[in-house]
Amino acid sequence: MREEEEIEKTIFDWVFDHSDNLSQWSQKIWNLAEPAWREYQSAKFFIRILKENGFEVEENSAGMPTAFFAKWHNGDGPNLASYAEYDAVPGQCQAATIFETPREGLSKHACGHTDPHSALGIATLGGLLAAKATMEKHNLKGSLFFTGEPAEKLRGSKPIHAAQGYYNDLDAMISFHPCYMLPWCNTVRWDIHCGAAFALIYRFECKESDSWLSTDTLQNTPIPQSHAEVRPPGANDALFLMYSNSRSLKDSMLPHSGSWSMNEVILSSGQSTADNLPAKLSELQYMIRVPTIEQAERVVRFLDNNANAAAQMTNCKFKKYWVSKSRPGLPNHEISKLVFNSLKTVGAPVWGKKATKIANDIRRNLGLPKIKKPFLDQAKMIIDPKVADDIVKKDLPSSQLNFTSDDYTEMCWHVPTARLYIARPMLAPEKGFSYPNWVMNALGGIPEMIDPMTITAAKTIGLSFVKMLIYPEKLKKAKAEFVRRTGGGINGSKWIPPLCNYKPPIHFAWPDYIKTKNGKEWALSSEEYY
């Protein structure tokens, strides 16, 4: 028992001694705010820190320029892992301050961290490095792995890493995420894990617009596509038909029970410089979030039919490109119990006087009165995983096993995985009032607000890793449960193999910053444009 206390103290001391570093690192990623598949500087930052701490790093892992796979060995022992996410979201640019304003020099339409992935990645990195320091000091044998996972908002990298075997040789994985919904606040998931998610792009091309015209028209028109005669439809027309028809058929495409969503975004369109010429190319992306793979496949069949019809009506061709195919989650009670017990030892986050003042300053700017306890009560409480599950189940059909969406689920099918949630700063509700989105985004960038979550998560993850090393029987039980649930482990009778059968979708026109003579700007940066 004495040894365990000394080990625990080593972890907590390391996190305390490096808390300023963790805060600064979180600020770095938060201010970079790079969007999906374009997180070049963020990935480089993580890679540099990992190398400085003795990790071997495979850059551009699985063919993804902003992904990485890092490892550190300390003799024979378990292979323990966690990961970083670091993509931000377009249209969410908010400064780390108490009023609504974009970050200096940028448009409000630029990227910002909402979850925030900035603190997510730094918290897991902190836990990893705390575990490494403890393993060195107390001569604990084993290996640590850390993966860089870009484009989480698109369910991007994890299905690709999984399909290429990056998770196959691990003994335990800790997936951390800042709390994003109640009751999953300061807890771990139990039976209810995230569902399936498919993302794909339909590209419409108008390759032979002149064939739209009749022979008689062509004979009388020196320029075949003259708007004096007829303007043929093009790729934009196909995109519009696809967009509107799929919207109108949502009720037929998606299940009527449980939680589901299908959201679309126009990735690119036009390519025409004259109004009388048809657009040659357009791209429409869909993200489908449903409880099961079967439901996702059903929706895609509908979308394929709609794309084919839209193409035929507009004299276009279409191609389908996969962005993501992620599986639903797989529980592992043994590893989840271990992580939850570590959380109980660490305790919930604590916000100090400065944070309380900042919270009330935000309330004042929103026209709300100052209060003694401006933070959500649940953010300061730890909830038992089974209790949280029971609360969620009340709002779900009895047949539904999965709820909400995240691609950590890919790891669950290769290694016993715990899904950890720690409370982010959340303001207490005000009757008859809803906080605007910028508040949540700002709180994720203000150190006094977000650091308590980061520190709590780092301690919990570090302590969990070390417990796995000093109590090998717990890992043995977690592995046995994994084998049972998959019908024999990887390739077992109940195992769902990776669905990814596509190359990394890195070459599309994803939103990004641009470099100008004035520095970094968002591609849609001019307010006068709108």
**Grouped pLDDT means (10 residues each) for the chain, 530 residues:** 85 97 98 96 98 98 97 97 97 96 92 96 98 97 98 96 97 96 96 96 86 61 58 87 91 75 82 71 94 92 96 94 97 98 98 97 96 96 97 89 92 98 96 94 97 98 97 97 98 97 93 83 57
Residue 506 within a domain: no
Co-location of 138 and 264 in the same domain: no
Residue 108 within a domain: yes
**Residue 110: predicted pLDDT:** 94
| CATH number, residue 291 | 3.30.70.360
**Residue 217: predicted pLDDT:** 54
Co-location of 162 and 18 in the same domain: yes
Tokens of 25: 């690192």
> Please, are residues 203 and 283 in contact by the beta-carbon 8 Å criterion?
yes
**Residue 516: predicted pLDDT:** 80
Co-location of 48 and 189 in the same domain: yes
What is the extent of the structural domain holding 242?
Answer: 197-327
**Residue 518: predicted pLDDT:** 74
Q: Which of 303, 327, 351 marks a domain boundary? A: 327
Residue 234 within a domain: yes
Co-location of 363 and 241 in the same domain: no
**Residue 514: predicted pLDDT:** 87
- Max Cα–Cα distance, the chain, nearest Å: 95
| CATH number, residue 151 | 3.40.630.10
Co-location of 332 and 258 in the same domain: no
> Please, are residues 467 and 418 in contact by the beta-carbon 8 Å criterion?
no
**Residue 500: predicted pLDDT:** 96
**Residue 251: predicted pLDDT:** 80
Residue 452 within a domain: yes
Q: In what order do the strands lie in the sheet with 79-84?
A: 56-59, 68-74, 142-148, 79-84, 172-178, 417-422, 187-188
**Residue 314: predicted pLDDT:** 92
**Residue 526: predicted pLDDT:** 46
Residues 6+ apart with CB under 8 A from 387: 183
Tokens of 440: 């949540």
Q: Name the domain count of the chain.
A: 2
Co-location of 209 and 332 in the same domain: no
Beta strands in 405-477 (DSSP E): 417-422
Co-location of 254 and 121 in the same domain: no
Co-location of 300 and 219 in the same domain: yes
**Residue 233: predicted pLDDT:** 85
Number of Cβ within a 10 Å radius of residue 101: 13
pTM of the model: 0.94
Q: Comparing C-alpha atoms, which of 240, 410, 222, 362 is closest to residue 309?
A: 240
**Residue 227: predicted pLDDT:** 57
**Residue 209: predicted pLDDT:** 72
Residue 431 within a domain: yes
**Residue 528: predicted pLDDT:** 47
Co-location of 229 and 115 in the same domain: no
Co-location of 334 and 481 in the same domain: yes
Co-location of 342 and 470 in the same domain: yes
Residue 168 within a domain: yes
> Please, are residues 93 and 106 in contact by the beta-carbon 8 Å criterion?
yes
